[in-house]
Chain A
Amino acid sequence: MASSKSELKGEELFYSYISEYLDGDLPAALQTQFSAVLSSKQKELEAFQVNRGKFQSALGEIGGSEALKHKLRNLAQEDQVRETIEASEIAEVERSEFWSNVMRRSVLVAVVLGLVGYAIYYFMPEKKFDVIEYIGYEALALEEDPEGRTNLPSTDLEEIRQFVKTVPGLDFTPSLLRPIKGWNPEGVSIIDYDVMKVVAVNYISPERGNEHLHHFMVPGKMSDMKYRGDEANYRGITYRVYASEKLNIIVWQQTSDMVSVLAGHRSASEMAELARAGTPE
Chain B
Amino acid sequence: MAQGLTNGFTEKQLALYSSQYYERADLVFRFGALLTLSREGGERLTEEVYRALLQDFSQVKSSTSPVVLLMALAWKAFNKIKTQKFHEWNLPILQSIKALGVEQRAALYAIDIAGLEVGEAANLFSSSDAAVRQMLAEAQRYLAVNAIRV
Contact = CB atoms under 8 A, between A and B. Distances in A.
A54 B148 contact: yes
Contact of B144 (A4, A51, A59): A51
Contact of B6 (A4, A54, A71, A78): A78
Q: How large is the interface on A (under 10, 10 to 19, 20 to 34, 35 or more residues)?
A: 35 or more
Given A58-B93, A72-B25, A76-B7, A18 B133 contact: no
B77 to A, nearest CB: 13
A64 B144 contact: no
Contacts of B99: none
B131 interface: yes
Task: Label chain A's interface by main secondary structure.
Answer: helix
Contacts, number: 157
A57 B134 contact: no
Contact of A72 (B46, B97, B126): B46
A59 B9 contact: no
Given A7-B130, A16-B137, A76-B7, A47 B145 contact: yes
Interface residues of B, number: 58
A69 B44 CA distance: 12
Contacts of B125: 1
A2 interface: yes
Interface of A: 1-8, 11-16, 18-19, 41, 44-45, 47-48, 50-52, 54-60, 62-65, 68-69, 71-73, 75-78, 81-82, 84-85, 88-89, 92
